[in-house]
Amino acid sequence: MALSVDKWVGFGSAMAGFGLLWSRMPEHVHDEARYIISSLVPMLMSYFNPYQQISISELDAERFRRNEMFDAVSIYLRSTCLDVASKLKAELGNKKDDLLISLDDNQGVVDNFDGARMWWRLCPKSSKKRGGTIISLLPGDSDEQPRCYRLVFHKRHRKLVLDSYLPSVIRQWRELIAKNRQRLLFTNYSREGKSHWINVPYNPPATFDMLAMDHSKKDEVMEDLKAFSKAKEYHSKVGKAWKRGYLLHGPPGTGKSTMIGAMANLLDYDVYDLDLTSIKDNAELRKLFLDTRDKSIIVIEEIDAIEVELTAKRHGKEAAEENSDKHLVIKLSDNNKDNGKVTLSGLLSFVDGLWSACGSERIFVFTTNHVDRLDPTLIRRGRMDRHIEMSYCRFEAFKMLAKSYLDITNHSLFGEIGQLLDEIDTTPADLADNLMPRGKRRREADDCLAGLVETLEKNKAKMKSAAPPMDSMEEAKEE
Ligand SMILES: Nc1ncnc2c1ncn2[C@@H]1O[C@H](COP(=O)(O)OP(=O)(O)OP(=O)(O)O)[C@@H](O)[C@H]1O
Ligand SMILES: [Mg+2]
Ligand 1: atom nearest CA of 301 is 27
Instruction: Print burial letters for 223-256: b (CB count within 10 Å at least 16), e (below 16).
Output: eebeebbebeeebeeeeebbbbbbbbbbeebbbb
Q: What angle do CA 137, 69, 241 make, to 5 degrees?
A: 90
What share of the chain in percent tops pLDDT 90? 34
Q: What is the mean pLDDT of the chain?
A: 79
Distance in Å from the first CA to the final CA of the chain: 98
Ligand 1 pocket member 404 (CB < 6 A):
no
Burial class (CB within 10 angstroms; exposed 0-12, middle 13-18, buried 19+) of 393: buried
Q: In Å, what is the CA distance from 311 to each residue of 315, 335, 454? A: 6, 12, 43
CA distance 47 to 316: 68
pLDDT digits (tens, 9 = 90+) for 271-324: 999 998 888 888 888 888 888 888 999 999 988 876 544 544 544 444 444 444
Contact predicate 264/295, CB 8 Å = no
Residue 107: pLDDT band with limits 50, 70, 90: confident
Mean pLDDT calculated for residue range 241-254 = 92
Ligand 1 pocket member 206 (CB < 6 A):
no
What is the residue-wise DSSP string for 7-18? Answer: HHHHHHHHHHHH
Tell me: pLDDT of 375 over 90. Answer: no
CA distance 246 to 388: 7
Q: Cα of 159 to ligand 1 centre, how many Å?
A: 57
Of 298, 235, 222, 233, nearest to 267 by C-alpha is 222
Ligand 1 pocket member 258 (CB < 6 A):
yes
Mean pLDDT calculated for residue range 206-223 = 93
Ligand nearest to the CA of 250: 1
CA distance 222 to 211: 12
pLDDT at residue 372, rounded to an integer: 87
Ligand 1 pocket member 429 (CB < 6 A):
yes
CA distance 407 to 437: 13
Ligand nearest to the CA of 256: 1
CA distance 366 to 304: 9
pLDDT at residue 462, rounded to an integer: 87
CA distance 356 to 241: 7
pLDDT at residue 367, rounded to an integer: 94
pLDDT at residue 360, rounded to an integer: 82
Residue 9: pLDDT band with limits 50, 70, 90: low
Ligand 1 pocket member 369 (CB < 6 A):
yes
pLDDT at residue 17, rounded to an integer: 56
Residue 140: pLDDT band with limits 50, 70, 90: very low
Ligand nearest to the CA of 368: 1
Residue 407: pLDDT band with limits 50, 70, 90: confident
The model's pTM is 0.70
Ligand 1 pocket member 213 (CB < 6 A):
yes
Ligand 1 pocket member 426 (CB < 6 A):
no
Q: In Å, what is the CA distance from 397 to each residue of 81, 129, 208, 214, 386? A: 54, 63, 12, 6, 21
Helix (H) / strand (E) element for 452: namely helix 445-466
Ligand 1: atom nearest CA of 250 is 21
pLDDT at residue 336, rounded to an integer: 44
Ligand 1 pocket member 324 (CB < 6 A):
no
Those residues with Cβ within 8 angstroms of residue 250's Cβ, 6 or more apart along the chain or in another chain: 256, 369, 389, 390, 391
Ligand 1 pocket member 166 (CB < 6 A):
no
Those residues with Cβ within 8 angstroms of residue 25's Cβ, 6 or more apart along the chain or in another chain: 34
| One-letter amino acid of 142 | S
Mean pLDDT calculated for residue range 364-390 = 88
Q: Cα of 183 to ligand 2 centre, how many Å?
A: 20
pLDDT digits (tens, 9 = 90+) for 60-90: 766 566 788 998 999 899 888 777 777 888 8
pLDDT at residue 96, rounded to an integer: 60
DSSP 341: S
Q: Cα of 230 to ligand 1 centre, how many Å?
A: 28
Ligand 1 pocket member 253 (CB < 6 A):
yes
Ligand 1 pocket member 346 (CB < 6 A):
no
pLDDT at residue 476, rounded to an integer: 58
pLDDT digits (tens, 9 = 90+) for 31-49: 667 667 667 776 776 677 7
Site to substitute for ligand 1 among 207, 208, 248, 257, most atoms within 8 A of C-beta = 257
CA distance 75 to 102: 8
Q: Output the residue whose Cα is nearest ligand 1's atom 24.
A: 252
Tell me: pLDDT of 270 over 90. Answer: yes
Tell me: pLDDT of 327 over 50. Answer: no
pLDDT at residue 325, rounded to an integer: 37
DSSP 217: H
Ligand 1 pocket member 212 (CB < 6 A):
yes
Contact predicate 461/426, CB 8 Å = no
Of 372, 386, 457, nearest to 419 by C-alpha is 457
Residue 216: pLDDT band with limits 50, 70, 90: very high
What is the residue-wise DSSP string for 56-97? Answer: EESB-TTSSSB-HHHHHHHHHHHHHS-TT-S-EEEEE-SSTT
Ligand 1 pocket member 432 (CB < 6 A):
yes
Site to substitute for ligand 1 among 258, 427, 435, most atoms within 8 A of C-beta = 258
Ligand nearest to the CA of 251: 1
Ligand nearest to the CA of 299: 2
Ligand nearest to the CA of 397: 1
pLDDT at residue 293, rounded to an integer: 86
Q: In Å, what is the CA distance from 253 to each residue of 175, 376, 388? A: 40, 24, 15
pLDDT at residue 16, rounded to an integer: 52
Tell me: pLDDT of 262 over 60. Answer: yes
Neighbours of 173 (CB within 10 A): 20
Using CA atoms of 408, 412, 416, 417 in order, give the dihedral in degrees to the nearest 10: -10
pLDDT at residue 132, rounded to an integer: 41
Q: Output the residue whose Cα is nearest ligand 1's atom 10.
A: 429
CA 218 to chain centre: 25
Site to substitute for ligand 1 among 215, 221, 248, 254, most atoms within 8 A of C-beta = 254
Q: In Å, what is the CA distance from 182 to each residue of 74, 114, 170, 268, 362? A: 17, 32, 19, 9, 17
